[in-house]
Amino acid sequence: MASFEDDPSRRAVHLQALVDTMNRAADEEKRMLSSTRRVITRLSIARLMLAARRARRPFIDADLLGEPAWDILLFLYIAYREGRTVEIETAMAAAQTATTVAGRWIGILVHKGLIEPIAATSDDPKQFLYMTDKAVAAMEGAIDNYLKMGDELF
């Protein structure tokens, strides 16, 4: 049987197979890194957006900056991506508005199917808020739009 050195066509076929395998592996690695980067970037962008909203408050009257539903959604999205649960009271505080206003917005978000209140246990009066799949998709779509704008601007 001829060795690779003796048969250039066998050597070429073998080398092409190696190149194809390496290219597929490189493509898969790029796809995985891109996917991981997007999740990390979405979380980083959400954190930045919430921090930026809060950083304005010392300089501009808070009454002019109110978007409690958005603040709640950002806060819940960050918690969701970090694998944390959020009590209703904590989400209300995240809105940085009156408790009654935050409660009203939580009710609206529940009614729109974006969040769900779920009791911890039957013995525990605490309730937690969870983002629905619809809300996660909406937040990621919005954040992806911010990322796309950043790509276009910078």
pLDDT at 147: 84
The per-residue pLDDT for range 11-25, each reduced to its tens digit, is 677 667 767 677 776
- Cβ(52)–Cβ(59) below 8 Å: no
Tell me if 109 sits within 8 A of 72, measured CB to CB: yes
pTM: 0.70
Q: What's the pLDDT at 31?
A: 67
At the top level of CATH, the class of 8-153 is: mainly alpha
Laid out side by side, the sheet with 127-131 consists of 86-87, 127-131, 115-119
Who has greater pLDDT, 63 or 4? 63
- Region 17-37 average pLDDT: 67
Q: b/e string for 15-50 if b means 16 or more Cβ within 10 A?
A: eeeeeeeeeeeeeeeeeeeeeeeeeeebbebbeebb
Q: Reduced to 3 states, what is the DSSP secondary structure of residue 131? A: strand
Residue whose C-alpha is closest to residue 147's, from 48, 30, 24: 48
* pLDDT of residue 99 exceeding 80: yes
**How buried is residue 132: exposed, middle or buried, by Cβ count under 10 Å (0-12/13-18/19+)?**
middle
Tell me which DSSP letter residue 121 carries.
-
